Amino acid sequence: MSTDLRGLMSALWVENNRHWDELADQNTLTQLLGTGKPTQREYLGCLVGDVAGDTLFVRRLVHAKHLKQLQFAVAGDCEGVERLVGSFHTHPYRADSAGHALKERGLSPMDLKTFAAAPDLVTMVMWDLDSLD
């Protein structure tokens, strides 16, 4: 993956999480119920690339079609994307009971089931600017 592509992924994370530090008056329950203010959104993109031998190259990132972004969920698809090798997903912070931002390095059972059922060769998740797994 090129430095420019990694920079684009970082920029998308920043754009979709730009209000992460406005969680002081929020908590997870109000966020999950949708009654809190949306402080960030999840993002889904399609990774374009190719495989040479045992190496996978990610060359580009394109927005998922039919993208619907919510605070703790995202929907969209990569159908029809030529040379699709996988997906890119941002995972936002959530608020603890005191309104502090929590960075969780884990995916929900639904996320894991969705990614496991996909034909992707790779799934990349960004938790923070310094965390791409």
102: left (phi over 0), alpha (psi -120 to 50) or beta: beta
Residue 26: per-residue pLDDT? 67
- For the chain, the domains span 3-132
* Residue type present at position 5: L
Residue 63: per-residue pLDDT? 93
Q: What is the pLDDT of residues 1-13, one digit of tens each?
A: 899 998 899 899 8
What's the whole-model pTM score? Answer: 0.79
Determine contact, residues 81/46, Cβ cutoff 8 Å.
yes
